[in-house]
Chains A and B, each alone.
Chain A
Amino acid sequence: MMSSKRGTERHDHKHELQDIMLKYSARRRFMDKIVTIFVIVCVIAAIVPLASILIEVIKNGASAISIEFLTQPPGSLISGRGGIGPAIQGTLIVVGLASLIGAPVGVLAGIYLSEFAGKGIFPSAVRLFNDVLTGLPSIVVGIVGYIVLVLTIGSFSVWAGALSLSIIMIPIVVRVTEETLKIVPNSIREAGYSLGIPKWKITLFIVLKSAKSGVLTGIILSISRIAGETAPLIMTILGTSLFFSSLTGPVDALPLRIWRLASQPYESAHAAGWGAALILVIMVLALSISLRILAQKKGFTVTRTTI
């Protein structure tokens, strides 16, 4: 008699449970739809501003582009003649030099932190300072660059600009390199040790090689970042209407030229500014796309990294 009583109770719970879960599953599917719509709305909200900026730049800048625009120095502002040749050349030189300094320093520091550093005070300090530097406002970098490099050397120069930009680039590369190397499984290193290969060779020729694509992505993304930095350039390279003449003299650059042109009251200057902005955007886009093509050709995948 006891068991039959208990049997009915259990049977009731089963019905209740099924009812609850049925109601809940209907509500769950409804919530599913709501959240999906919400997510799609968010994606659109994220893409629309980006797309509209691109469209604006293309719309306003396209008309200014011409061979003359791309290769000639600026003429008098009111005439609307001339171009941004020196600015394009300057950007390539300053960003190129900054990358030649920033990439090796950043990668080597990242290798140190990942492979050779222990848990001591020094490595922790390096990591702390690196994290602080990633968030350093670029205007501060510019001011420091001005005081340390421009005032002491005595002139605005390519060196000052390149070094300031590399200060922005290095912490990004360090962080990306360290994190990518950490992902390489330790079993690879052990295999290298067991063959009697010295540690530095294991690090360079085996570990770094495995992390190659991630590190390369980090470097190229940081180059795209510094290509658009204006504040450090204002204070270090001065900007000029002349083509590059010497590493210790002033030079022009696209972000700088855009800013100068936009601050002018003349219509023709604004048009030129839009054109320069379009060129800058195209350069950064070209860098990103060529990275993806390079990655596919060599057969490794571009790993997404955050900076």
Chain B
Amino acid sequence: MNIEEITENNLTRSLKTVTEPNYKVSIRGIDAWFGTKQALKNINLDVKENSVTAFIGPSGCGKTTLIRCLNRMHEMTPGAYAKGQVILDGTNIYDKSVDPVIIKRRIGMVFQKPNPFPTMSIYDNVAAGLKLNGVKDKKMIQDIVKQSLEGAALLEEVKNELDKPGIGLSGGQQQRLCIARALAMQPEVLLMDEPTSALDPMASSKIEELIHELKKDLTIIIVTHNMQQAARVSDYTALMYLGELIEYGPTKQIFENPKKELTERYISGKFG
């Protein structure tokens, strides 16, 4: 990506054509398999721009599989494949003409266990996506790294140690480093797969604050098995069970006034 392509990206974002008003991501009829086992059945869901949407549900319900379908990571598992459409700003990312590698630059991902690159310093970790995608302008990289570390609320803590190894940080800091690394690519959507389940409560709450800030510029989709977190952090919640979407709506409504019985039972802890 050179500076022309990044500016063009921003330009097309403001001139975008959307299938639905204000919807950043529209999921249409997604089925997903691991070999012969079907993990997702006919998922239909619209994610609003600049919102935080949480996928909740018991273990094995398919929430991680669904989020991995949104940036085409699901099919990277041997034997795994998905059918259907995921429409990002009018483009179906499952269309034959779309390069799955490029789509991941628009939809970033943060994983459950922080995974900074072990051979790189903090600075290089954040810059990795840029450098390895052909960005050569040192000044631009420097600016973006600073911006991303700020956006991930990590800059203050590491600004004097940018050349120290990334893996030397604490768990919570490593996760924020991974967020900074994802932010450096200037994504439009950020997928977070249980980002705080490997962290202590203090670090978790820092990340939740971060999500609040980040949604001003991004659309965030977060998978969490912690219902309280979903209630705190998200604007919309989707409950999944056994590969199906049970209910989807504004978080307040889901938690205070669920329409489906299954939802009510899950919320009140009767199962899961």
Chain A residues packing against B (C-beta within 8 Å) = 118, 185, 187-188, 190-199, 201-202, 205-206, 209-210, 212
A103 to chain B, nearest CB (A): 20
B interface residues, Cβ below 8 angstroms from A: 71, 73, 76, 78, 101-105, 108-109, 111, 113, 115-119, 128-129, 132-133, 178, 181-182, 185
Q: Tell me whether A205 and B132 are in contact in the complex, defined as CB-CB below 8 angstroms, given that A193-B73, A194-B71, A196-B103 are known contacts.
A: yes
Across the interface, A190 reaches (CB within 8 A) one of B115, B118, B133, B181, namely: B115
Chain A residues with Cβ below 8 Å from B103 are 196
In the complex formed, the residue of B with least CB distance to A197 is: B132
Contact between A187 and B105, CB atoms less than 8 A apart: no
> Which residues of the partner chain A approach B71 to less than 8 Å between Cβ atoms?
194
A195 surroundings in chain B (CB, below 8 A)? 104-105, 108, 128-129, 132-133, 181-182, 185
B104 touches A206 (CB 8 A): no
CB within 8 Å for A190 and B111 given contacts A195-B185, A205-B132: yes
The 6 closest A-B pairs by CB, nearest first: A196-B105, A195-B129, A196-B104, A194-B109, A187-B115, A191-B115
Q: In the complex the two chains form, what is the Cα distance from A212 to B117 in whole Å?
A: 14
CA distance in complex: A209, B108 (Å) = 23
In the complex, A188 Cα to B132 Cα: how many Å?
Answer: 15
Contact call B73/A196, Cβ cutoff below 8 A? no
A193 touches B115 (CB 8 A): no
A197 to B129 CA separation, bound complex (whole angstroms): 7
Contact between B119 and A210 (Cβ–Cβ < 8 Å)?
yes
Complex-state Cα separation, A202 to B133, whole angstroms? 11
Known contacts: A196-B185, A205-B132. The answer to whether A188 contacts B118 by CB under 8 A is: yes
Docked-complex contact A188 and B115, CB < 8 angstroms: yes
Contacts of A187 in B (CB 8 A): 111, 113, 115
Give the residue among B104, B117, B129, B181 with the most A Cβ atoms within 10 A.
Answer: B117
B166 vs chain A, min Cβ distance (A): 11
Contact B119 A209 (CB under 8 A): yes
Give min CB distance, B9 to chain A, whole Å: 12
- Chain B residues with CB under 8 Å of A118's CB are 78
Q: Measured between C-beta atoms, what is the minimum distance from B199 to chain A in Å?
A: 16
Output the least CB separation between B223 and chain A (Å): 14
24 chain-A/chain-B pairs, Cβ below 8 angstroms = A188-B115, A191-B115, A191-B116, A191-B178, A191-B181, A193-B73, A193-B76, A194-B73, A194-B104, A194-B108, A194-B109, A194-B111, A195-B128, A195-B185, A196-B102, A196-B103, A196-B104, A196-B105, A197-B133, A198-B101, A206-B128, A206-B132, A210-B117, A210-B118
Question: B116 CB to closest chain A CB, in angstroms?
Answer: 8
In the complex with contacts A118-B78, A198-B101, A205-B132, A190-B185 CB distance below 8 A: no
Residue of A118, A187, A194, A206 with most partner-chain B CB within 10 A: A194
- What residues of B have a CB within 8 angstroms of the CB of A194 in the complex? 71, 73, 104, 108-109, 111, 182
| Minimum Cβ distance to chain B for residue A261 (Å) | 47
State in angstroms the CA–CA spacing of A197 and B134 once bound together.
Answer: 10
Contact of A196 with B133 in the complex, beta carbons under 8 Å: yes
When chains A and B are docked, how far (Å) is the Cα of A101 from the Cα of B258?
Answer: 68
Docked Cα-Cα span, A210 to B116, in Å, equals 12
Is B132 touching A201 in the complex (CB atoms < 8 A)?
Answer: yes
Q: Choose among A185, A195, A209, A212 the residue with the greatest number of B CB atoms under 10 Å from its CB.
A: A195
Bound: A190/B182 CA distance, A: 12
Q: A198 contacts which chain B residues (CB < 8 A)?
A: 101
Instruction: Other than A192-B132, A205-B132, A209-B119, give 19 A-B pairs with Cβ distance below 8 A.
Output: A118-B78, A187-B111, A190-B73, A190-B111, A190-B115, A191-B117, A193-B104, A194-B111, A195-B104, A195-B105, A195-B128, A195-B181, A196-B102, A196-B103, A196-B185, A197-B128, A197-B133, A202-B132, A206-B132
A61 CB, nearest partner CB in chain B, Å: 43
User: How many whole Å from A117's CB to the nearest CB in chain B?
Assistant: 12
CB distance from A194 to the nearest CB of B (A): 4
- In the assembled complex, the Cα of A31 lies from the Cα of B73 at a distance in Å of 55
* Distance of A212 Cα from B132 Cα, bound (Å): 18
Q: A186 — nearest CB in chain B belongs to which residue?
A: B115
Beta-carbon contact of B129 and A196 below 8 Å: yes
Docked Cα-Cα span, A212 to B76, in Å, equals 25
Inter-chain CA distance A212–B109, complex, in Å, is 27
Residues of the B chain whose Cβ atoms lie less than 8 Å from the Cβ of A185:
115
The residue on A at minimum CB distance from B108 is A194
